[in-house]
Amino acid sequence: MNLIKVLLAPILFSIVLGCGNAQDQNESTNLSAEIGNATDVEETDSNIVVQDTLKEAVSQTKKFLYNSRLDPETVEYKTMKSDEIKGLENYNCGEDVVRYLPFPQKGDVKLFLIPQDCGDFPYRYMLVTVKNNAVISGLYAEGEWYEPENYSEIEYTSFTIDEDYNIAVKTQFLKQTDIVHYYIDEKGAIEKRNN
């Protein structure tokens, strides 16, 4: 019976994926747990390979354009002149050149991650959208914040963007974690989701 579960799990998984993407990561995690239970069998080499393949397939159900944190010491930026895009001077830290990391465009909307390391905090990034050669919106998406003279209570912010341009910004402060979800509308603005 366990061998049948192992053989049927990839087929069932393919059928589930064919019916549509999981609505969120929790559903994907639940699916992973169900498949994991269906493949709990004796540890043989072939069973381990099947289980590893299923875990990889589950992790691929939602692809991310960005799902990490930058190391400001090693990141390699692209540059452009501040006056190339209207409104970009608001993110240039007073320089003639803006450093940035590009993301794949969403239609005619460009996305840039721009360091804001010219202020009190050396590790802060704004996610900026550009349409028709003008900045449409900016969102603080990654970095650290703390009260001056109090480094023991640091607020950490990070974000993800999935392949559908859903943005999740996670802020951790002390023992509390808040996640706010955003999307990019047809005008190119980053808007907060209401759900």
Statement: residue 116 has pLDDT above 70: yes
How much is the pLDDT for 187? 96
pLDDT above 80: residue 46: no
Is the pTM of the predicted complex or chain greater than 0.85? no
The pLDDT value given to residue 115: 93
The span from the CA of 6 to the CA of 105, in Å, is: 40
pLDDT interval class at 161 (50, 70, 90): very high
Alpha-carbon gap, residue 88 to 99, rounded angstroms: 11
Query: Quick one: pLDDT at residue 122?
Result: 74
Lowest average pLDDT, out of 10-24, 56-70, 77-91, goes to: 10-24
